[in-house]
Amino acid sequence: PVFEYQAVMEDPETLLDWLLAVRDIGLTQVRGVPTVPGSLSTLAQRISFIRESNFGVLFNVQSRADADSNAYTAFNLPLHTDLPTRELQPGLQFLHCLVNDAEGGDSRFVDGFAIAQTLRQEDPNAYRLLCEIPVEFRNKDRRSDYRCRAPVIALDALGEVAEIRMANFLRGPLNLAAELMLPYYRAYRRFIEMTREARFQVRQRLEAGQLWCFDNRRTLHARDAFDPASGSRHFQGCYVDRDELLSRIWVLQR
């Protein structure tokens, strides 16, 4: 679903419709957002507090020579969730396009819950391994060293899929019993293969003044490679936790 910035900012009913779509569908777009750096904060704070990380309150997605994340290069980024290196992955992620004059760089999304449900039916053994066996994700720079060991598919207390944790470029070495190594790799590889299948993918290029807002613990996102010599490209992003989204929904409904 697509929403207009002005309506989301001024009309509480549109704000509620947007937040319900984020909660229930997991991927939304907002258009007509000012292309001034920092304007994402105003929109995110319409929900609640922004979750700061080592990448800042707002992070700038631009190609950089001293990149401390694959996001800050011109490489393609395969389908992933952000900050799988943290015990609590951010609930919502925003990506706001300020400039997109470069060739390439389309956005891709898949519904991780849909992939998990399909895997559960098509390959129950692989599904079980991804639910039960933890993997370590790591990210470090000169000042930080984040590590988290958790399964790719997290279930809630009722056994329903509650969260996907996946960024292969942030995965540490697998440290498993020898007899689990082959079956686990097979399951892990199958999950990544499924993220590449057309039946799960949405692909769209974001233009200046548009932004994505999605459930980072459900919806995996990716970026095609772009050519930094063909034009500039500048996105800003931030996170808001799922508790803040749910609280704002309850208050608006009250």
Task: Write out the residues near Fe ion by the rule CB under 5 A.
Answer: 82
Q: Which residue is nearest to Fe ion (CB)?
A: 82
Nearest CB to Fe ion, comparing residues 190 and 223: 223
Q: How far is the CB of 70 from Fe ion (least distance, A)?
A: 8
> With respect to Fe ion, which residue has the nearer C-beta, 92 or 126?
92
Q: Of 166 and 187, which has the nearer Cβ to Fe ion?
A: 166
Q: Supply the minimum distance, in Å, between the C-beta of residue 205 and Fe ion.
A: 16
Nearest approach, Cβ of residue 77 and Fe ion (Å): 6
In the numeric block, the tokens 């956005």 are attached to 107
Smallest distance, Å, CB 20 to Fe ion? 24
Closer of 82 and 241 to Fe ion (Cβ): 82
